[in-house]
Amino acid sequence: MNRVLSIQDISCFGKCSLTLALPVISAMGVECVPVPTAVLSTHTGGLGEVYFTDMSQSIGPVTDHLNRLGVTFNVIYIGYLGSIQLICAIKQLIRTFKSKDTIIMLDPVMGDNGSLYSRFDKDYVKEMQTLAAHVDYIVPNLTEVSFLTDINYTGEVVSEEKLSGIFREFNKRYSSRLIITGVRSDESSMSIVSPEKDGNPAISYTVKSSKKKFHGTGDLFAGVLAGGLAKGVSLEAAVKKAADFTAAVIENTISAGTDERFGLCFESCLSMLTDR
């Protein structure tokens, strides 16, 4: 069976990070091996004071045990880390498990709407930039790619000229394939864009967008993308599957009328991911 190692936090309530990755990747017929980087009572988006436990001390022992067992992975999917110490631990994990057949995918969870999340500063950004040099695919939003390239964030509605400038600066610094999420040319649509890299064609895929913003949409997209890459489908096909599924889940969540803070109503949509 294909296997994804998913390294990110677990929020007990709010449906993001590992609580999305586990069911989504499993529904695709891919084994998901979770390695929690932190345990939170809820996500940090408007649900009050959050209980937070850093799990950085567990990364090394977990890595050593899995390595002794000879476990291998098709994809190593790295999400929310939360500390410089954890970034350093993940670099060691990559060195342990990376092979010519292993894809390293990074969702550099750092911020949104032009600002860093709480707990993060410029030193964290610099360390994330060094991690980005060790991966094959990187899946930032526009805020995160702006921090990775030291280009000023100007909003999610961007021109072709602005995107071209981001692509040029990114390719100067990194060898990884860039996939930017949440790019808008207007308020009614959202695109995923990926420039040409090493002779592989550029990708641009657009879906209908909602004005509402839900926690976990980036995690959902990245989880489906990781599952698709683990199954060996093309990057273009994986991007389309992830974008279509995320759009369908957002529409389903809006129809359900649930509190936006409580996360995405993805459970009834999982059948869209299964092979029939």
pTM exceeding the 0.85 threshold for the entire prediction: yes
DSSP 3-state of 78? strand
State the Rg of the chain over Cα.
Answer: 17
More confident residue, 131 or 196: 131
Q: Which of 126, 131, 106 is nearest to 116 (CA)?
A: 126
Could you tell me the residue ranges of all domains in the chain?
Answer: 3-264
Q: Given this model, what pLDDT does residue 138 score? A: 98
pLDDT one-digit tens code per residue, 131-187: 999 999 999 999 999 999 999 998 888 888 888 999 999 999 999 999 999 888 666
* The pair of three-digit structure tokens given for residue 45, joined into one six-digit string: 């988006």
Q: Which of 220, 207, 158, 208 is nearest to 183 (CA)?
A: 158
- CB contact at 8 A, 30 and 1: yes
Amino acid at 68: R
Domain at 3-264: CATH code: 3.40.1190.20
CB proximity list for 61: less than 8 A, separation 6 or greater: none
The answer on pLDDT for 208 being more than 90 is: no
Distance of CA 83 to the CA centre of its chain: 17
